[in-house]
């Protein structure tokens, strides 16, 4: 949550905080506006350089990442909409905003080392996946797609980490 009048540039530092703590960064924008004419990279809203205040109804991407040059990289991109939210204190009145995720895809927890996440972050991932299941399961069941429902339930309920080899022989060495 953030107060009305906050720009994406002001929020960008929060996306980078964990990496900055370890002297790391990513060399791309955290996100960009999505509109009705160009569909992507359409402002004025964005994270990063934009000093435009985010407003209710703005749609933008959230795509922090990290790339180890010459080795690997990771980026999860989601679409968000800015909406009004209620806060515990309502300081300054009803002028608080937050994000609602448009993207309804489970986070692949088999690729996540849980010990690197805080309890709050682990809970966020679990709640995200529960929400995806809640939204998509009825749609897929209505289409009669049993195979997709089975996959969705498995992915949304999967524990963190990868024990041994997963599908396609995937094996992850964390250290």
Question: Domains of the chain by range and CATH?
Answer: 1-103 (3.90.230.10), 104-161 (no CATH)
Q: Do you find a cis peptide bond into 86, omega within 30 degrees of 0? A: no
Q: Which residues of 14-35 are buried (b: 16+ CB within 10 A; e: fewer)?
A: ebbeeeeeeeeebeebbbbbbb
In this prediction, residue 126 has a pLDDT band, given cuts at 50, 70 and 90, of very high
- Dump pLDDT digits (tens) for 15-57: 999 899 999 999 888 999 887 777 678 888 888 766 889 999 9
Residue 86, pLDDT > 90, answer no
Q: What is the pTM of this model?
A: 0.78
Query: pLDDT tens digit string along 165-174?
Result: 444 445 555 4
pLDDT band at 111 (very low <50, low <70, confident <90, very high): confident
Rounded mean pLDDT of 103-128?
90
Of 11-15, 47-51, 60-64, 66-70, where does mean pLDDT reach its minimum? 47-51
**Could you tell me which residues come within 8 angstroms of residue 7 by beta carbon, excluding any fewer than 6 positions away?**
50, 51, 52, 53, 54
């Amino acid at each position: 949550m953030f107060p009305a009048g906050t720009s994406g540039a002001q929020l960008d530092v929060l996306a980078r905080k964990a990496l900055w703590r370890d002297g790391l960064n990513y060399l791309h924008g955290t996100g960009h506006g999505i509109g009705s004419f160009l569909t992507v990279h359409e402002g004025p809203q964005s994270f990063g350089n934009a000093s435009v205040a985010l407003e209710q109804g703005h749609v933008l991407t959230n795509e922090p990442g990290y790339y180890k040059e010459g080795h690997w990289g990771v980026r999860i991109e989601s679409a968000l909409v800015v909406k009004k939210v209620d806060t515990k204190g309502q300081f300054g009145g009803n002028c608080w905003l937050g994000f609602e995720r448009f993207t309804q895809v489970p986070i692949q927890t088999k690729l996540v080392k849980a010990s690197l996440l805080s309890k709050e972050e682990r809970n966020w991932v679990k709640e995200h996946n529960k929400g995806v299941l809640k939204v998509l399961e009825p749609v897929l069941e209505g289409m009669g797609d049993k195979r997709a429902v089975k996959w969705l339930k498995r992915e949304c309920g999967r524990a963190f980490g990868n024990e041994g080899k997963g599908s396609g022989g995937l094996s992850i060495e964390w250290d």
